[in-house]
Amino acid sequence: MNEIAGQFVPHGVGSIFLYTHEAHPGENYPHLTSMEQKQRHARALRDLLGVTRPVLLDALDGACHRAYGSMPNMTWIFNRAGSPLYKSDWTDANSISNTLDYFVDALARRRNRERLVPFHVQRLDYRGSDPDQFYEGLARSGPKAVREFREAGI
């Protein structure tokens, strides 16, 4: 996502990472109980993943996450007026890049005085799934996170 964010800066597109909560708490990254702890966890995640975008913290009770649908690894794209242009229940670089390309092109078309009218689209996208990488992430949180995920049978 860092690379995509950088590619669209020349087009006036900003990008943030909203840290909501520990999806799979464990011994190393337990359930959050204070904003100070949340800030430490967010910094560790930023450093571990190499996030270069600004990292914002949701409220401890997850108010922002809930307000925008509580999706597991969501992405939202808003226009400058704050209207949602895109929402996804999973962050997928290909889908996001495709969407940003589309809206940058639409903006260029509007600047060329082409008359455009909005319409809604619903589509099913596909993302890669790497179970080994997923379990590596769970393991970073600790054995409890791995055990609870396996016990959930998801």
pTM of the model: 0.86
Residue 154 has pLDDT above 90, yes or no: no
CATH of the domain at 17: 3.40.30
Residue 22 pLDDT? 87
Question: Could you give the count of Cα atoms lying within 13 Å of 57 in the half-sphere of its Cβ?
Answer: 17
Residue 86 pLDDT? 96
- Asked whether the beta carbons of 16 and 54 are under 8 A apart, the reply is yes
Backbone angles phi, psi at 49, to 5 degrees: -90, -10
Q: Structural domain tally of the chain? A: 1
Residue 46 pLDDT? 95
Q: How far is Cα 91 from Cα 19, in angstroms, rounded to an integer?
A: 13
Mean pLDDT of 110-137: 94
For 50-78, what is each residue's pLDDT tens digit? 999 999 999 999 999 999 999 889 999 99
Q: Is the dihedral of CA 118, 120, 121, 127 positive or negative?
A: positive
For 90-122, what is each residue's pLDDT tens digit? 999 999 999 999 999 999 999 999 999 999 999
Of all helices (H) and strands (E), which one includes residue 100? helix 93-111
Residue 72 pLDDT? 84
Range(s) of the domain holding residue 32: 2-152
Mean pLDDT of 4-11: 96
